[in-house]
């Protein structure tokens, strides 16, 4: 039997997942990395992308994260996500409408800070849409 690593995915609102998995792939700031039991300890920032949980006690799952931090130890991986959404809960039509609204917000932005915030929101929404 394959050793499993304990995995917790936490967003500011709640604990999204607490499971054991054969491997968890996370979008690290330096690139995607697969984390398995026995992984060397490290802490990494996360970029927007998909966390893929393989061989979990609840089956394979995917989550889209906006960013955050990951702490890896040989027996446990903890992800503190800025925002995380199960990919299964993403709806293409809703995301398309949110992207359209964000594009309008970007066009109407008057200051550099408003434009930067609107562009960041648009980029995150497009990233979520690309996962479908």
Rounded Cα–Cα distance for residues 32 and 65 (Å):
13
For residue 132, what pLDDT is reported? 83
For residue 69, what pLDDT is reported? 97
**Fold category of 5-87 in CATH:** ATP Synthase; domain 1 (2.60.15)
- Asked whether 85 and 76 are in contact (CB, 8 A), the reply is no
In this prediction the pTM is 0.84
pLDDT band of 32, cuts 50, 70, 90: very high
pLDDT band of 128, cuts 50, 70, 90: confident
Mean pLDDT score of the chain, rounded to an integer?
93
For residue 6, what pLDDT is reported? 96
For residue 2, what pLDDT is reported? 67
| 53-97 residue pLDDT tens | 999 888 899 999 989 999 999 999 999 999 899 999 888 998 999
């Amino acid at each position: 039997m394959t050793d499993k690593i304990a995995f917790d995915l936490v967003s500011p609102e709640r604990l999204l997942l607490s499971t054991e998995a054969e491997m968890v792939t996370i979008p690290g700031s330096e690139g995607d990395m697969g984390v398995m039991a026995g992984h060397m300890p490290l802490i990494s920032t996360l970029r927007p992308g998909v966390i893929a949980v393989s061989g979990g006690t609840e089956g394979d799952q995917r989550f889209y994260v906006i960013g955050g931090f990951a702490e890896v130890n040989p027996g446990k991986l903890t992800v503190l996500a800025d925002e995380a959404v199960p990919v299964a809960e993403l709806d293409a039509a809703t995301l398309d409408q949110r992207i359209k609204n964000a594009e309008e917000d970007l066009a109407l932005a008057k200051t550099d800070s408003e434009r930067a915030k609107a562009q960041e929101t648009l980029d995150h929404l497009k990233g979520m849409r690309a996962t479908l």
